[in-house]
């Protein structure tokens, strides 16, 4: 825990001087030194605390009073506690006395476990050691983070690291898009972010219908999904925000769980934040049990672009 100097004074003779006025609780000591080179006049020093809201001298707390300090001598008082609003005063019979106040803050915010510490060439050994990383949403990423900073993203439910140019999901293979094989095959990160039982290429017929020509023919076809499996939708229609909806008894509403969207650069969003995307890949972890009113896909900008999703149970196949 750091010790800091909060006050220093070389007061005039026989003058009471406020050395420090405290705004918080501290453990303090006062270092006093006699700078005189001759023995006369005699130096006597006093140190006392005026508590917050004290109104009479009888309420003061004296640390020392008229203590004789010979030529060249110095001493440090015992450590004593002060509270917010307290003031430490000092006094000397000569002008050749120096007072210095050193203190340790007694607030939780400056306890060892709450202080930022930098370790260099250190090894943590032993059992039951716990390391907690900073966590938060994508929007809460610290702007001051340096390259190599690791945090837990609560939206993607995983670790991410700050690179020289962006944030990358740990373990996602974020550099894969730069390899020779991936580039030659025109593969982007979103296409390999997660495994899926099928990958449907989503296109549009103007503003009237969706098409899934990789697996189905025609406009707004009925598509089939398997409960408990993951299906992927490869999106590439800039004017048609793609959404998945279910009817749980009160009409169709957006699905709010089991969704992960990956951009072509590998940035992930989940659940409600994964809806309404126009590029990248949307992954849907299909519920084992179907919604009572069924499922559908729809364009949030063109209500006519809508089609049925039929849920199949593995036990029924």
pLDDT digits (tens, 9 = 90+) for 254-272: 999 999 999 988 899 999 9
Residue 125 lies in a domain: no
Which of 109, 130, 146 finishes a domain? 109
Residue 103 lies in a domain: yes
Residue 156 lies in a domain: no
Residue 177 lies in a domain: no
pLDDT-above-90 percentage for the chain: 74
pLDDT digits (tens, 9 = 90+) for 3-37: 899 999 999 999 999 999 999 999 999 999 999 99
Range scoring the smallest mean pLDDT among 66-70, 106-110, 256-260: 106-110
What does the pLDDT read at residue 176?
Answer: 43
pTM value surpassing 0.85: no
Residue 137 lies in a domain: no
Quote the mean pLDDT of the chain. 90
Mean pLDDT over residues 126-152, rounded?
89
- Nearest 5°: CA angle at 229, between 191 and 271? 65
Which of 54, 75, 109 finishes a domain? 109
Range scoring the smallest mean pLDDT among 58-67, 148-157, 201-210, 211-220: 148-157
* Shared domain check, 202 and 105: no
Residue 99 lies in a domain: yes
Residue 179 lies in a domain: no
pLDDT-derived band at 175, boundaries 50, 70, 90? very low
* Shared domain check, 307 and 210: yes
Question: Which CATH number do you get for residue 242?
Answer: 2.60.40.420
Range of the domain at 27: 4-109
Question: Which CATH number do you get for residue 83?
Answer: 2.60.120.340
What does the pLDDT read at residue 156?
Answer: 83
Q: Per the structure, how many domains does the chain have?
A: 2
Residue 23 lies in a domain: yes
Which of 89, 109, 129 finishes a domain? 109
Mean pLDDT over residues 295-300, rounded?
97
């Amino acid at each position: 825990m750091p010790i800091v100097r909060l006050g220093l004074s070389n007061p005039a003779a026989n003058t009471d001087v406020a050395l420090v006025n405290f705004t918080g609780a501290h453990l303090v000591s006062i270092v006093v030194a006699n700078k005189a080179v001759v023995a006369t006049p005699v130096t006597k020093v006093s140190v006392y605390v005026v508590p917050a809201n004290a109104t009479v001298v009888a309420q003061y707390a004296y640390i020392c009073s008229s203590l004789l300090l010979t030529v060249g001598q110095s001493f440090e008082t015992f450590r004593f506690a002060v509270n917010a609003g307290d003031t430490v005063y000092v006094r000397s019979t000569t002008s050749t006395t120096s007072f210095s106040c050193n203190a340790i803050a007694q607030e939780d915010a400056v306890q060892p476990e709450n202080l930022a510490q930098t370790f260099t060439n250190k090894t943590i050994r032993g059992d039951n050691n716990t390391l907690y990383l900073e966590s938060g949403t994508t929007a809460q990423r610290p702007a001051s983070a340096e390259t190599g900073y690791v945090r837990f993203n609560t939206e993607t439910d995983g670790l991410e690291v700050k690179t020289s140019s962006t944030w990358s999901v740990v373990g996602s293979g974020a550099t894969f898009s730069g390899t020779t094989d991936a580039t030659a095959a025109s593969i982007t990160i979103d296409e390999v972010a997660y495994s899926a039982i099928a990958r449907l290429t989503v296109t549009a017929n103007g503003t009237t219908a969706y098409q899934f020509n990789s697996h189905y023919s025609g406009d707004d076809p009925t598509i089939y999904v398997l409960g408990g499996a993951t299906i992927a939708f490869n999106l590439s229609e800039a004017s048609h925000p793609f959404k998945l909806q279910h009817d749980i008894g009160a009409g169709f509403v957006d699905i709010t769980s089991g969704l992960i969207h990956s951009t072509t650069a590998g940035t992930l969003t989940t659940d409600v934040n994964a809806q309404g995307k126009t590029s990248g890949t949307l992954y849907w972890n299909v519920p084992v049990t179907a919604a009572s009113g069924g499922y559908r896909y729809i364009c949030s900008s063109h209500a006519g672009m809508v089609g049925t999703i039929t849920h199949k149970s593995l036990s029924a196949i």
